[in-house]
Structure 1
Amino acid sequence: MSYRYGGKRFVELMQRHANKVEILSQKIDSVANKSFLNFQRSIPKKKKFIEKIEKIICSSKSKLICFGSLSTSLIVDENSDIDLQFFPTVSAEQRAKFCSDIRDNFDFRRSFMWEMFRTIQKNSDIGLENLISDKCLILDRTRIPLLILYFKNGYKADSRFRKIYIWLRTLFDALGIRDSMAGLFSSYHIACLVAHFLQSQKLSLLMMPAPVLPTLLESYQNLVGPDLDIEHVVNMISSPFHQLHPTVAFQWKSDNAMTTGELAIALVHYYTNIGLFMPLFIDRTQVERDKLKSRLQGTVTLPIFDPYSDMSVCRNKLGRPLRKIMAYTFSKMLKGQVISTFPDFKDTWFMKKLIQEEVSKIKFNINWQNDKRFSIKKRKGEEFVSRRRTINKNL
């Protein structure tokens, strides 16, 4: 490729280490293709597993919807979590009532989650005997209630999205900054970072001849957006289990011919040069962007906006560490390091040490908040028992 695009240091890196960049491209392609084959092979087994749970906890008026990496085909290994959403298949009014009760009625929410867990626990005879009950968690006080069960044992417009996602996720794992339960990055955050970079039209001109991905809300309003009918969204999310290719053909062909290795380095260069807390949009009009920017003055979180909400999907405080990581990574890439060492990334220990203090502080705050919530919950429980004993004594 002729490196006519990008800043001076980016062009210098590409020309000086072209062989290593080519090796990186080959490694990313190989790992991504292997993981996708594993994903294809795992579908029948995972589908059967989900059908068993659905048979236990759902009636004719509800179903389980698969979301997350399993529905987007962004599975990196076979041990990836299976994310399921309970979805009432009733009228819109009845579904709104159910959602309102789950959101506002804590007693109903807690009873619903515990009943679901007990129902699964009781039905080990249909093949769920590998459930490890002691490790399971019911988080009924979170913004979105979660039932976490432990058992023994993509993006279609351009294939480069999935490959760059796997590369960046592997890098974040090596650095120890992917753990949403500890207040760090989630897989969805990483997917958003990749999508923003690959479809950015304005800033991509600094280093790329053309965007890799289309602007979805402009090009495919029938596939994404907050105004889509929920039943239509559910059907699209469920489709990967029935067929591996989308029902709608993407009429998109990018004019960008960069390899995966070149794009991986361009991504690092991109996030090195953007503003520290610049809003990262998956797709917004300029008017919407200006409105959101005005609301973000003084923010300390990393603002990432998907097409479905005016609230940032990322609430962690890793904006400064992220830019520090990217800047330091790029400086090492200029010296030929951290390019062809994927997927092991054995030469990232220096970066991990660079942000260790900030990451530890975030983890400590999350653990402290969780301990505080547990103490409050325990204290309230003790007060409740004490009051009940007093009442019984008086009776």
Structure 2
Amino acid sequence: MHFALTEEQQMIADTTRAFVENELYPHEAEIERSGHLPMELIRELQAKAMAAGLYAANMPEAVGGAGLDSLSWLLYEKELGRANYALHWTCVARPSNILLAGTDEQKEKYLFPCIRGETWDCLAMTEPGAGSDLRGMKATARFDGGDFVLNGTKHFISHADIADFAIVFMATGEEETPRGPKKLITAFFVDKGTPGFTVRDGYRNVSHRGYTNSVLDFDDCRLPKSAVLGEVHKGFQVANDWLGATRLQVAATCLGRADRALSHAIAYAAERRQFGQQIGKFQGVSFKLADMAMELKAANLLTWDAAWKFDQGTVTEADMSMAKLKATEVLAMIADEAIQIHGGMGLMDELPLERIWRDARVERIWEGTSEIQRHIISRELLRAVGG
């Protein structure tokens, strides 16, 4: 197997890293202290990202994106992941691939404005009582007089405050299965301002300052059938067809932050002196660095392997789960060890380490918890032998 990057892939990584270091890093401290990302800054950085060819780069060339293969896309995501999450996700937006599942009319209304940077999408699945168990959702959409009427609540919905619309998953019925009745799910486009649809402030959280979450309330919110994304009762199919690679996206952004933390730890271990020598000379520090580097390389290889298989059409759910699981847990380990190497200074906000450490915690929860990833991996192993 050939592991070297092509010249084009290296250029994509280098260009993205230069943008992150020159345009995003200078704003990190203020966003971290204020927890607020001003719209004027968003628009300024958005224009620069577009000029650099980095905006909506995850999208196919046919709809105005960069048309990157999966590995090139994840190399790009890794470099963006080095920065504060709110800065890179909002200012260098990557619209959800699920928008590609829309009709031509839906693409004109929702997809293309996102690619042009005129608006943002948000995806609403999670509910207060149904996180990993999506089929346990209680929010419903019932058919009434040719329309659908939505009721219920979604929460933890990222950047819904600035999005002009939401892609909302609702229970639209039940089906009988050998393991009992299960919810049928349908996806809908819901425009902000639709009667019965309210966006409320979400929760303050320890991770990703400036990157907001909201609560979405639906109270007899009436939608036409044209608002359905995909087919009625086929919401899970739409999600599985178009959202599978989001686990790899999470993995890649974690790799960027882990690499940044490791670089700080290596530099500090070579610079800091105690007892007459560099602290990197002590095995208590040098062995940490060795383990951090080894684990990061393993996480990189799992992620790039899954990306390559994704484009070959041979990737499995377990491949993507292994990449997400390994990268998120390695990030947590490296962030913690980097702080340990720095001692008390690692917890001060003069360095990005305490931010990387805080931000790492959510990665083992969203886009499928570590426990869910282990379930997916073990299920695939057991199915191969009839388990």
Task: Give TM-score, length-normalised by structure 2.
Answer: 0.22
Of structures 1 and 2, the larger Rg is shown by 1
Larger helix percent = 1
Task: Give TM-score, length-normalised by structure 1.
Answer: 0.22
Larger strand percent = 2
